[in-house]
Amino acid sequence: MAASVGHRCLRFLRGIVPWRTSLPHCENAALSHFLQSFWKVPLRAINTDARKIHTAPARTLFRLRPLPILLATGGGYVGYRQYEKYREQELEKLGLEIPPKLAGHWEVALYKSVPTRLLSRAWGRLNQVELPHWLRRPVYSLYIWTFGVNMKEAAVEDLHHYRNLSEFFRRKLKPQARPVCGLHSVISPSDGKILNFGQVKNCEVEQVKGVTYSLESFLGPRTYPEDLPFPPASSEGWSPGKDSFRNQLVTREGNELYHCVIYLAPGDYHCFHSPTDWTVSHRRHFPGSLMSVNPGMARWIKELFCHNERVVLTGDWKHGFFSLTAVGATNVGSIRIYFDRDLHTNSPRYSKGSYNDFSFVTHANKEGVPMRKGEHLGEFNLGSTIVLIFEAPKDFNFRLKAGQKIRFGEALGSL
- 277 part of the active site: no
- 282 part of the active site: no
Closest to 112 in 3D by CA, of 324, 325, 291: 291
Is residue 240 within 8 A of residue 255, CB to CB? The reply is no
Which of 185, 274, 281, 384 is catalytic? The answer is: 384
Which of 185, 191, 316, 340 is catalytic? The answer is: 191
- Cα separations (Å) of 83 from 98, 99, 103? 15, 16, 16
Which of 273, 282, 285, 307 is catalytic? The answer is: 273
Is residue 412 within 8 A of residue 260, CB to CB? The reply is yes
- 289 part of the active site: no
Is residue 143 within 8 A of residue 168, CB to CB? The reply is yes
Catalytic residues: 191, 273, 384
